[in-house]
Amino acid sequence: ERDKSDKTYHKYIERISTLPVWGEDPRDKLYKYQNFWFSHYYLERIMFAQEHFRAQSSDIILSSAPKTGTTWLKALAFSIVTRNCFDDSMNPLLTSNPHDCVPFVEVDLAQNPPNRHLDHPLISTHIPYISLPESIIASGCKIIYICRDPKDVFVSMWQFACKVTQPIPLEMAFEMFCGGMYLYGPYLDHVLGYWKASLERPDMILFLKYEDLKRDTMSNLKTLAKFMGQPFSEEEERNGVSEKIIQLCSFEHLSNLEVNKSGKHRPEAPITVPNNAFFRNGKVGDSENHLTLEMKKCLDGIMEEKLRDSGLNF
Ligand code: A3P
């Protein structure tokens, strides 16, 4: 952990103290910065990354708002780019959580730039498009973004928060989510930022939806591989390489690995996440089982209003 007396971080901490804040409990407080809400822990590091992170043109950025399928995207992208690096039985995904295979800009790289030397070009982030470190856009590196129906994102986040931090009433969590007070939220603004950028720069930004990935994993996997400049060859197709990747990264397979049943992610961080919290049930439409009809209507209404004329829908 960095030295708390570090002058650079002190500067960010001072800046954060001047920002609009939401919440009472220091563990849950959110700060509004560049129109999005962040926890103190992430915001210090995002500010640091904005100033110091240097992207390389060969980097491939995996971006998402939390609970939209990040873990799955990391596993798939990692499998694609390392498919000729290991024997099947030695694949790091069998013994490490996908989040431990791809460095995270806000934490791993903000504090420790050498963490990027992992023999693959993947880097992940939850930073909204508008707040990305400038070098990510300037370097021309590729960005892959994944998003998901807001109703399922909300339920997934609520269940995650209850498991990892403390139980919070559904109604209270729902009000916060609808008001945009969601880690890295407002969620739909996060999505729209990347959506608009992907329309402007389709060769640089690949925009994916969790629902499409579930419905047709194979064609989305091929799109991903091609976008990353590593399409499957005819020989690989004949040898079933893409099928193997899909199986390796499937919810059923990953969630049943010992590392994901009993391991922990970032044991040194203020909040340690058990790896099994990243795998709940991995279904589309599970929000139906948790939201009242009014809640569903309310979120559908917000979605309709926010996404109107954008060309995006869920
Ligand atoms: P649910 O809570 O709806 O089950 P993130 O990875 O961005 O934190 O998102 C977590 C969501 O992705 C959780 O959704 C989790 O179950 C689901 N998920 C994790 N791994 C997955 C996989 N391999 N395939 C499909 N969904 C997966």
Instruction: Tell me the CA–centroid distance for residue 281 and ligand 1, in Å.
Output: 7
Minimal-distance CA residue to ligand 1 atom 20 = 72
Minimal-distance CA residue to ligand 1 atom 17 = 282
Six token digits for residue 19? 């920002």
CA distance 285 to 289: 8
Atom of ligand 1 nearest to the CA of 146: 7
Strands 60-64 and 142-147: parallel
Supply the residues annotated as catalytic: 126
What pLDDT digit, counting tens, does each position of 266-280 carry?
877 777 899 999 999
Q: What pLDDT, on the 0 to 100 scale, is given for residue 132?
A: 97
**Model pTM?**
0.95
- Within 6 A (CB) of ligand 1 lie 64, 66-72, 75, 152, 156, 159, 249-251, 254, 278-282, 286
Q: What pLDDT, on the 0 to 100 scale, is given for residue 1?
A: 47
Strands 36-38 and 142-147: unpaired
Instruction: Tell me the CA–centroid distance for residue 42 and ligand 1, in Å.
Output: 21
**Ranges of the chain whose pLDDT falls below 50:** 1, 4-5
Establish whether the linkage from the previous residue to 167 is cis, with ω within 30° of 0. Answer: no
